[in-house]
């Protein structure tokens, strides 16, 4: 019974889209905006971000808001991961946080 529960936990964990379950390579992270946002918003904004971000396992990481991801998101196409660099992220005290390392690495390479 314990083995089945552990196996279920591992399967759930491996389907999540956490940004730091791989080594952080700043060159793998790019802006998620691949096109212009629509003036009307809504479903048309999904065209401004990569199609793979529409997967149900990834959408919660940007609050299911394509405009938020296009404006403040970084995408790692290789591992299909996203992270947000919201305004003020540089002021965080958690300099070891995964998202902080990704955002600062991306900013440093620009």
What is the mean predicted confidence (pLDDT) over 55-63?
A: 96
What is the mean predicted confidence (pLDDT) over 58-78?
A: 96
Nearest to residue 77, comparing CAs of 41, 25, 36, 11?
Answer: 25
Does 80 have pLDDT greater than 60? yes
pTM: 0.79
Nearest to residue 73, comparing CAs of 53, 55, 51?
Answer: 53
pLDDT of 109 reads: 87
Q: Where are the domains of the chain?
A: 2-109
The residue with tokens 């149900």 is 56
Question: Is the sign of the CA dihedral 90, 28, 34, 52 positive or negative?
Answer: negative
What is the rounded CA–CA span in Å between residue 96 and residue 93? Answer: 9
* Range in 19-23, 32-36, 41-45, 106-110 with the lowest mean pLDDT: 19-23
pLDDT of 20 reads: 76
Token representation of residue 31: 């802006």
Query: Cβ contacts of residue 84 below 8 Å, gap of 6+?
Result: 61, 62, 68, 69, 72, 73, 74, 99
What is the rounded CA–CA span in Å between residue 78 and residue 32? Answer: 13
């Amino acid at each position: 019974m314990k083995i089945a529960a552990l196996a279920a936990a591992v399967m759930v964990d491996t389907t999540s889209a956490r940004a730091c379950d791989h080594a952080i390579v700043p060159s793998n992270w790019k802006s998620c905006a691949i096109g212009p946002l629509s003036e009307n918003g809504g479903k048309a904004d999904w065209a401004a971000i990569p199609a793979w971000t529409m997967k149900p396992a990834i959408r919660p990481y940007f609050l299911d808001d394509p405009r938020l991801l296009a404006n403040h998101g970084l995408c790692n196409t290789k591992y299909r991961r996203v992270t947000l660099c919201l305004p003020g992220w540089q002021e965080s005290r958690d300099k070891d946080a995964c998202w902080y390392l990704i955002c600062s690495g991306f900013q440093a390479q620009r």
